[in-house]
Amino acid sequence: MAGGEVILKSDVMGRVRTPLERRRSLLEEFDKSGLSGAKFAEISGVKYSTLAYWLQKRRRERREGNPAKEPVDSAKSMRWLEAVIEQAQSPGAKESCGLVLELPGGARVPINHFSQVALAAALLAALEKPAMTC
């Protein structure tokens, strides 16, 4: 078996049994992704209904205060951002800027001056927090 390959078991109905650690890893990635559940499920190869069930189960466990399954403190964990360096535009181009943040969903935030960095950081921090649901 090669480096990252794992053999997944299936039940008698042919459903794939995802190991607990893999499930936790996928839920962590979903939390960090900023994607909708449907889009994340499509990308990760998990059925949306399965992902929704895992999320519901995790919320229920957290509500019941199960200390063994508390969320990891995101401030202590490492986070990755993708940086892409594009070819510089000509000096007279109107849309020239220092940095462009591309957010999930396609929103773009251009940063043209160092004074905007703090605002961009505040925006990213606000977007990282889970949305309030009614």
Residues 92 and 124 in one domain: yes
Buried/exposed code over 76-113 (b: 16+ C-beta within 10 A; e: otherwise): eeeeeeeeeeeeeeeeeeeeeeeeeeeeeeeeeeeeee
Question: Residue 92: beta bridge partners?
Answer: none
Instruction: Say yes or no to pLDDT of 21 above 50.
Output: yes
The tokens describing 2, both together, are 């090669």
Alpha carbons within 13 angstroms on the beta-carbon side of residue 96 total 8
Output 9 or 72, whichever has higher pLDDT: 9
Domain end call among 46, 69, 92: 69
Residues 15 and 48 in one domain: yes
Instruction: Report residue 1's pLDDT band, with 50, 70 and 90 as the boundaries.
Output: very low
Express each pLDDT in 37-68 by its tens digit.
898 888 888 889 999 999 999 998 888 876 55
Residue-range definition of the domain harbouring residue 46: 10-69
Q: Fill in the amino acid letter for 64.
A: E
The count of structural domains within the chain is 2
| Average pLDDT along the chain | 75
The tokens describing 18, both together, are 């995802």
Question: Are the C-beta atoms of 40 and 28 separated by less than 8 Å?
Answer: no
Query: What's the predicted TM-score (pTM) here?
Result: 0.44
CATH number at residue 45: 1.10.10
Residues 58 and 98 in one domain: no
Q: Is the dihedral of CA 81, 87, 91, 92 positive or negative?
A: negative
The answer to the question of residue 122 being in a domain is yes
